[in-house]
């Protein structure tokens, strides 16, 4: 999987995506992530990327041309058109299911990060296939959302985690929150690990984990619990 990110702050994305599991996966070559500086694709001597909005009002708007030049350079590198996603609070809110689908996308992905008050609508109309938000709140730019989306997708690509099991069991994957986890010591400040986990009885452990998952979901995310139960009914 290859992900390109077009932004005015490539160092911000590069810093986040060079650490930990994603950083290691990039070094190994399991995922390819390229951050592009949109400002490098300006043609005027002031390297201008934004201007005041037509119609007046607050803030600056990112201009079409630098973004279009950056996009075309990426297309040329890829020798293909990437699936292009604009990160915006107006987009569809990211879900685990959408992240799974994007991780299986057969073309590469391009994430476009907006800044200031927005981006000229004409470039969005020309190159964007999909708009994604990471939640119903407003951030100063698309960089953190692009890193969130990249992490969510990249961790499911082959060779990034030690095995599929690492994400097949976890919160949100099957519509439930994960069961609690315990590690050594067996007793910590008077609190013991649930005895079933020390029993070595795999069936009992699996049953306990599913029960805890259901309880956890019902308590913390009644909305997810309701959906899960409705789907379980349908599957019967
Ligand atoms: Cl994708 N961008 C910005 N600026 N704010 C957001 C967002 C994206 N998703 C949630 N808030």
Domains of the chain with CATH codes: 2-154 (3.40.1280.10), 169-235 (1.10.1270.20)
The pLDDT tens digits of the residues spanning 109-146 come to 999 999 878 999 999 999 999 999 999 999 999 999 99
Distance 198 CA to ligand 1 centre (A): 44
Q: Which residues have C-beta atoms less than 6 Å from ligand 1?
A: 87-89, 133-135, 137-139, 141-142, 145
The pLDDT tens digits of the residues spanning 51-97 come to 999 999 999 999 999 999 999 999 999 999 999 999 999 999 999 99
Atom of ligand 1 nearest to the CA of 139: 5
Question: Which residue out of 134, 135, 136 has the highest number of ligand 1 atoms within 8 Å of its CB and is therefore the one to mutate?
Answer: 134
pLDDT at 161 over 80: yes
State the number of CA atoms in the 13 A half-sphere of 159 facing the CB. 11
Distance 134 CA to ligand 1 centre (A): 6
Q: Element (H or E) spanning 84, and its range?
A: strand 83-93
* Helical axes 222-235 vs 202-220, angle rounded to 10°: 130
Residue given tokens 């910590």 in the structure block: 188
Alpha helices in 17-95 (DSSP H): 20-28, 64-78
CB 126 within 8 A of CB 88: no
Question: Rounded to two decimals, what is the model's pTM?
Answer: 0.95
Length of the chain: 236
Atom of ligand 1 nearest to the CA of 132: 1
């Amino acid at each position: 999987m290859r992900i390109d990110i077009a932004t005015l702050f490539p160092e911000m994305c590069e810093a986040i995506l060079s650490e930990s599991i994603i950083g290691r996966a990039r070094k190994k070559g399991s995922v390819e992530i390229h951050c592009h500086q949109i400002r490098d694709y300006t043609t005027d001597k002031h390297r201008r990327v934004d201007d005041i909005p037509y119609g007046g009002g607050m803030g600056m708007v990112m201009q079409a041309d630098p973004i279009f030049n950056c996009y075309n350079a990426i297309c040329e590198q890829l020798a293909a058109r990437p699936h292009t996603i604009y990160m915006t609070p107006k987009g569809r809110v990211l879900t685990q299911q959408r992240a799974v689908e994007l991780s299986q996308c057969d073309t590469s992905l391009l994430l476009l990060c907006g800044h200031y008050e927005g981006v000229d609508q004409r470039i969005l109309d020309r190159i964007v296939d999909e708009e994604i938000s990471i939640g119903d709140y407003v951030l100063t730019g698309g960089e953190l959302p692009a890193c969130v989306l990249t992490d969510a997708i990249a961790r499911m690509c082959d060779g990034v985690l030690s095995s599929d099991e690492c994400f097949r069991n976890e919160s949100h994957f099957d519509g439930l929150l994960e069961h609690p986890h315990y590690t050594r010591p067996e007793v910590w400040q008077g609190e013991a690990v649930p005895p079933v986990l020390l029993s070595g009885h795999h069936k009992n452990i699996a049953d306990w984990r599913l029960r805890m998952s259901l309880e956890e979901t019902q308590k913390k995310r009644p909305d997810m619990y309701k959906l899960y139960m409705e789907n379980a009914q349908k599957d019967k």
